Chains A and B, each alone.
Chain A
């Protein structure tokens, strides 16, 4: 089976890209495809704990992220440098199953997947 890597680089509520990336991952996982999610640049903000989206207007990205495990996506990859530059506290995230990658590991991840989905 071909492997897919979804790369999500945008913050969660300013536009729909973060949500659309997650929906793509959930859809692929629901069809038992081999898909992984990588958060980098402003995409790491999706991991921020205690997100309180505007009531009735926005769905929680954090809640969707925590659904990934149920769909068989066990690991969420995230770029360490992006989080460090933003001062994101890696001890207080909305999910536990985050695997942090350095620059070289991100290069490797991109090279080893058959398809990239850019969000």
Chain B
């Protein structure tokens, strides 16, 4: 049974994504949205934690529109899947629970 974690805060000014990455379990998914999408950058302070989580079997997604709105096109962590708000709904249905790290 898995959990969908949503993060909407920038890892450059908040510990939110770091906490989420530390405490999510294998089989869980993380969705980066709004300012959380800055966490998809290879230069983010949470990149090492994020790569570790992916290796543990955590899937990471980011909302395409939120990336685009912020001009985030390059230097993104490759294993992150871009998705839409419909994708967000689909992810919500595929997981038992959602934890919002706001």
Contact = CB atoms under 8 A, between A and B. Distances in A.
Interface of A: 7, 9, 40-41, 79, 81-82, 103, 106-107, 110-111, 113-116, 118
Contacts, number: 39
B15 A107 contact: no
A81 B25 CA distance: 16
Given A111-B1, A111-B3, A118 B100 contact: yes
Nearest to A115: B97
B24 interface: yes
Interface of B: 1-3, 15-16, 19, 22-25, 96-102
Contacts of B98: 116, 118
A27 B91 CA distance: 30
A6 to B, nearest CB: 11
10 contacts: A9-B19, A107-B24, A107-B25, A110-B3, A111-B1, A111-B2, A118-B98, A118-B99, A118-B101, A118-B102
Contacts of B19: 9, 40-41, 82
A9 B96 CA distance: 21
Closest 10 CB pairs of A and B: A118-B100, A107-B25, A116-B97, A116-B99, A106-B23, A118-B99, A41-B19, A111-B1, A110-B3, A103-B23
